[in-house]
């Protein structure tokens, strides 16, 4: 066992997570069509504060993230403070770590708590795949800058004459890695081939995810942590996630064609997470501050770890790298965990990480560790389903996972939970949570 790093303040306080909330998650172009991420963020933070009944002045910092950036609101965190009736003097800044963005927001607030600069803060994230920054071509952008500086009409017309029809076409946000040009689905296909993951295994995991998420909603387990969203034109509120396919069968998954490698691929739209809109947030405090306010925490942040690997091959292995580090810092092993919640970007990515967590060879030859991190117990793994079912508003997923895991730990009488995710750029995140 390596060095244990307790997450406590100078006074010995643990980092308490006292409340968490999210919007329902909606597939791209459906219930939240036309609602920008900043409005989703305001919606969830405003409702979170109202439900918690914590005075606005208690919150000293808000760290929020957004992956699909909107140029008109580059600091989403500050816009949320100004748009929710929070104290105008509340410190607020934005972060981005791709799919692990709200993990980063939570870590940043935790670090402020440990440093003693604040005693309470909010962390979270929001994203909209329905409201996108549609840009222009690089050639048109350059011409427009030059036109702005041109002094005569003839100079302007000469500049415009350089353009071709294709230069005038709108440019949607890139869906590929900047460094490699690879799409996420291409990486998932790499991982399926590298680790021998079959189409049947991927479809089975996706089906499991939807079935468990549907059951969680049916059993009322998500009611406390998901708000009802009222959205223009206010005809019908959104109460539940609208991506979950509770009535699907394995035969339905088998009908879909590969989405990325059309000829030899196994990754489909059904065994991948869909583009999604939504927001999620959590309130963190020092343990003593929570006691002063008479609040019973959902749980505590025991440890966290962020890692990075190469982006050219199998870059979505973040959980296999970050999990052993987070467990080490928490002073725990896989067998100590009550729950394991892994972000399901793709079924192939999820199954590859599960395989490597139990691999002695990977531990020795790649991580430089004496033993494997540990086998993933299916009875502890994604017990309420995962991102394939719920959807994945990039910056909101981490906060969803944290809140969901803490509630489920409390239903089970407490224990330790691991939440972990891969992210673009070869990044990985893992956090160990504790509930009593």
Catalytic annotation, residues: 99, 392, 422
Beta bridge partners of 229: 238
- Asked if residue 387 lies in contact with residue 344, where contact means CB atoms within 8 angstroms, the answer is yes
- Asked if residue 265 lies in contact with residue 259, where contact means CB atoms within 8 angstroms, the answer is yes
- Asked if residue 281 lies in contact with residue 44, where contact means CB atoms within 8 angstroms, the answer is yes
* 290: helix, strand or coil: helix
- Asked if residue 394 lies in contact with residue 128, where contact means CB atoms within 8 angstroms, the answer is no
- Asked if residue 308 lies in contact with residue 426, where contact means CB atoms within 8 angstroms, the answer is yes
Name the token pair of 100: 């692990």
Q: Which of the 8 DSSP states describes residue 426?
A: G
- Asked if residue 339 lies in contact with residue 408, where contact means CB atoms within 8 angstroms, the answer is yes
- Asked if residue 108 lies in contact with residue 63, where contact means CB atoms within 8 angstroms, the answer is yes
Nearest to 344 by CA among 231, 267, 414: 267
Q: Which of the 8 DSSP states describes residue 50?
A: H
Residues near 382 by Cβ (< 8 Å), separated by ≥ 6? 208, 209, 212, 340, 341, 342, 344
């Amino acid at each position: 066992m390596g060095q244990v790093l307790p997450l406590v303040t100078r006074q010995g306080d643990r980092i308490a997570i006292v409340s968490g909330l999210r919007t329902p998650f909606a597939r791209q172009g459906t219930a939240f069509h036309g609602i920008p991420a900043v409005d989703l963020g305001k919606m969830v933070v405003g409702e979170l504060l109202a439900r918690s009944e914590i005075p606005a002045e208690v919150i000293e910092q808000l760290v929020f993230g957004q992956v699909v950036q909107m140029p008109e609101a580059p600091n989403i965190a500050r816009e949320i403070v100004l748009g929710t009736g929070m104290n105008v003097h509340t410190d607020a800044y934005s972060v981005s770590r791709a799919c692990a963005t709200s993990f980063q927001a939570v870590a940043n607030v935790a670090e402020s708590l440990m440093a003693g600069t604040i005693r309470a803060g909010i962390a979270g994230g929001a994203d909209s795949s329905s409201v996108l920054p549609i840009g222009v071509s690089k050639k048109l952008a350059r011409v427009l800058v030059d036109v702005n500086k041109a002094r005569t009409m003839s100079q302007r017309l000469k500049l415009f004459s350089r353009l071709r029809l294709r230069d005038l076409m709108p440019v949607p946000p890139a869906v590929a890695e900047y460094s490699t040009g690879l799409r996420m689905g291409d990486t998932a296909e790499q991982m399926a081939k590298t680790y021998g993951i079959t189409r049947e295994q991927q479809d089975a995991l996706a089906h499991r995810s939807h079935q468990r998420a549907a059951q969680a909603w049916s059993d009322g387990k998500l009611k406390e942590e998901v708000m009802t969203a009222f959205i223009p034109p206010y005809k019908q509120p959104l109460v539940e996630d609208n991506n979950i396919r509770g009535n699907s069968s394995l035969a339905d998954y088998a009908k879909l064609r590969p989405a990325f490698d059309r000829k030899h691929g196994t990754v489909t739209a059904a065994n991948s997470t869909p583009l999604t809109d939504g927001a999620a947030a959590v309130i963190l405090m020092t343990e003593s501050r929570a006691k002063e306010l008479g609040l019973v925490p959902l749980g505590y942040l025991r440890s966290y770890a962020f890692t990075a690997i190469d982006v050219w091959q199998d870059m979505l292995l973040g959980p296999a790298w970050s999990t052993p580090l987070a467990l080490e810092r928490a002073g725990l092993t896989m067998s100590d965990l009550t729950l394991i919640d892994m972000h399901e970007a793709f079924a192939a990515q999820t199954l590859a990480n599960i395989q490597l967590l139990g691999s002695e060879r990977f531990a020795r030859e790649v991580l430089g560790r004496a033993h494997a991190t540990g086998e993933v117990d299916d009875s502890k793994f994604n017990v309420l389903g995962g991102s394939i079912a719920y959807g994945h508003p990039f910056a909101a997923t981490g906060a969803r996972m944290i809140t969901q895991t803490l509630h489920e730990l409390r239903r089970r009488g407490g224990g330790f939970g691991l939440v972990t995710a891969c992210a673009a750029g070869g990044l990985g995140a893992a956090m160990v949570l504790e509930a009593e």
